[in-house]
Amino acid sequence: MFRTAVALAALTLSGFVFADEQCSVTIQGTDQMTYDLKTIHVPASCKQFTVTLKHPGNLPRNVMGHNWVLTRKDDLKGVADDGAKAGEGHDYIEPGDARVLAHTKLIGGNEQASVTLDTKALKPGDNYVYFCSYPFHATVMKGTLTFGG
């Protein structure tokens, strides 16, 4: 009886942990210009979704900086081009760019940054991409984000 109660308590608690984890994700950007995740899924049940970017490398942000930027797929090139013009002082994001749905600050080795997105900005079935807007990184540092289901 005691074992059953402990097992049920563990399952109940793990369900709460699992539900919380579904509304957040941690992604790593490395000195080799890679993200460790190629796809992120945001469940429709999440009102907000938090992305934490970690940079486990050793290079500083002005040499191998990374950020995490979310846009619609068709906006990637324009946002990346305009971000390069905005420069490091603006984290390679054009200030006030409405095409940017969410982004972290630019970080260097052994740093991390988080951003929380209100999922009202997302629509099921739309094509979203995330990428690093540091110049020339978006060609290899990108992935897809899906919402709903």
Residue 85 has pLDDT above 60, yes or no: yes
Strand partners, 128: 72, 145
pLDDT band at 149 (very low <50, low <70, confident <90, very high): confident
Strand partners, 50: 24, 116
Q: What is the pLDDT of residues 116-132, one digit of tens each?
A: 999 999 999 999 999 99
Q: Specify whether the CB–CB gap between 44 and 70 falls below 8 A.
A: no
Share of the chain above pLDDT 70, in %: 86
Residue 38 has pLDDT above 50, yes or no: yes
Residue 36 has pLDDT above 80, yes or no: yes
Residue 143 has pLDDT above 70, yes or no: yes
User: Average per-residue pLDDT in the chain?
Assistant: 89
Q: What is the pLDDT of residues 64-82, one digit of tens each?
A: 999 999 999 999 999 999 9
pLDDT band at 6 (very low <50, low <70, confident <90, very high): very low
Residue 16 has pLDDT above 60, yes or no: no
pLDDT band at 3 (very low <50, low <70, confident <90, very high): very low
pLDDT at 94: 98
List Cα–Cα distances, 130 to 1, 13, 17, 33, 112, in angstroms.
49, 32, 26, 14, 17
pTM reported for the whole predicted model: 0.85
Ranges of H-type helices in the chain: 2-22, 61-64, 76-86
Closest CA to 44 of 113, 147, 140, 114: 147
